[in-house]
Amino acid sequence: MTVKVALRTLLERSVKKMGKGMNPVVKASALEMVKHAYNEGITVQISAGYRSLEEQANLYGQGRVYSYKGKNYSNLAKPIVTNAKPGQSYHNYGLAIDFFIVSDDGRRAIWTVNSKWQRVAAIGKGLGFKWGGDWSSFKDYPHLEMTGGLSYTQLQAGKEPHITSPKTSKGDGHIISIQKTINSRYKTSIAVDGVYGPKTRSALIKGLQTELNKQFNKKLIVDGKWGPKTKNATVIIKKGASCNITWILQAALYMEGFNPGPLDGVFGEKTGAALFKYQKASRISADKLAGKVTWNELFA
Ligand SMILES: [Zn+2]
């Protein structure tokens, strides 16, 4: 049996690959697409996002003799991969992404344009992206973009796109309420976007550190980072528990895709069942006790 890659892993890899410089709506929509696909049993990752003009020159130089701003980018050893010169790709403005399918265990890239691939593209289009697979001249199957109705010329002139995506601005209602609660309870200021990203997870860790200090006299630094000190300071949360730490457990389980029922901070049957399923899926001891191993699995 293979262990299915966690949604969080796919989201984190995708965030990393998109890089800084992404339009926030495009980025959120990309992550929403990964999540939506995951819920349908399709594991997908974003392989590229923002690309600087120099990086674009480097790509354009593949298979060509090419120089840009006085620098030689010729690379005849490789095949041509793009027809877009620097400034002629929506990637250069943080408005495009590329995706690929990964194996269920998250270890292998699968580049076959099959029904899964088409489905991901359809999810992306539903979120407001245009798909390179629909182009007539040069099909670019991994490519999705949001142009905001602007041409390269307008973008190069510094015009800013106003992209709104009604679907992502709503996000996941439960995650939105979790994010609101974290912000008010732990004085964080994470984006309330309904998407479980690294910042939301870090804020949950801050919450856990805060509660461990307050309720159990631990002396943790509240930095939102998972490390051995925080791991060793965790307490066992089990049936009958009723506290803010139980709420953090419920929130974390929900984010991982295991619904614990109402997020009420009370460890009842549903929370126990969600924890059990999560532990089984993660191949850790399925004892319905959230101890060090479970906390570590959730946050490391
Ligand atoms: Zn692309």
pLDDT in tens, 243-256: 999 999 999 998 87
- Ligand 1 centroid vs 32 CA: distance in angstroms? 18
- Residue 94 has a CB neighbour count (10 Å cut-off) of 21
The tens digit of pLDDT for each residue in 60-81 reads: 999 999 999 999 999 999 999 8
- Ligand 1 centroid vs 241 CA: distance in angstroms? 49
Q: At what angle do helices 292-299 and 198-216 cross, to 10 degrees?
A: 150
- Ligand 1 centroid vs 173 CA: distance in angstroms? 30
Which of 39, 30, 214 lies closest to 124 in space, CA to CA?
A: 30
pLDDT confidence of residue 282 = 82
Which residues on neighbouring strands pair with residue 300, listed in sequence order? none
In this structure, the strands spanning 109-110 and 44-48 are unpaired
- Ligand 1 centroid vs 8 CA: distance in angstroms? 23
In this structure, the strands spanning 130-131 and 71-72 are unpaired
Q: At what angle do helices 292-299 and 244-255 cross, to 10 degrees?
A: 50
Which of 125, 247, 111, 123 lies closest to 177 in space, CA to CA?
A: 247
Q: Please tell me the least confidently modeled range out of 46-60, 88-102, 134-148, 221-235.
A: 134-148
The tens digit of pLDDT for each residue in 175-209 reads: 888 999 999 999 999 998 877 788 999 999 999 99
Does 3.30.1380.10 match the CATH number of domain 7-51+89-169?
yes
- Return d(Cα 56, Cα 73) in angstroms, integer: 10
CB of 266 closer than 8 Å to CB of 260: no
Looking at domain 171-299, its CATH class is: mainly alpha
- Return d(Cα 248, Cα 178) in angstroms, integer: 9
Banded pLDDT at 33 (limits 50, 70, 90):
very high
Q: Locate the domains of the chain by residue range.
A: 7-51+89-169, 171-299
- Return d(Cα 176, Cα 283) in angstroms, integer: 29
Residue 166: both structure tokens together: 């009604």
Cβ-count burial 34-56 (b if 16+ within 10 Å, e if not)? bbbbbeeebbbbbbbbbbebebb
Q: Please check the confidence at residue 237 and state whether its pLDDT lies above 90.
A: yes
- Return d(Cα 220, Cα 233) in angstroms, integer: 8
- Ligand 1 centroid vs 170 CA: distance in angstroms? 26
Residue recorded with tokens 């709506």: 25
Task: Give residues whose Cβ lies within 5 Å of ion ligand 1.
Answer: 96, 98, 143
- Ligand 1 centroid vs 97 CA: distance in angstroms? 5
Contacts of 1 (CB under 8 A, 6+ apart): none
Cα angle vertex 111, ends 90, 96, to 5°? 10
Q: Please check the confidence at residue 166 and state whether its pLDDT lies above 60.
A: no
- Ligand 1 centroid vs 204 CA: distance in angstroms? 33
pLDDT confidence of residue 197 = 82
Residue 8: both structure tokens together: 């969080």
Residue 164 CB burial class (10 angstroms; 0-12, 13-18, ≥19): exposed
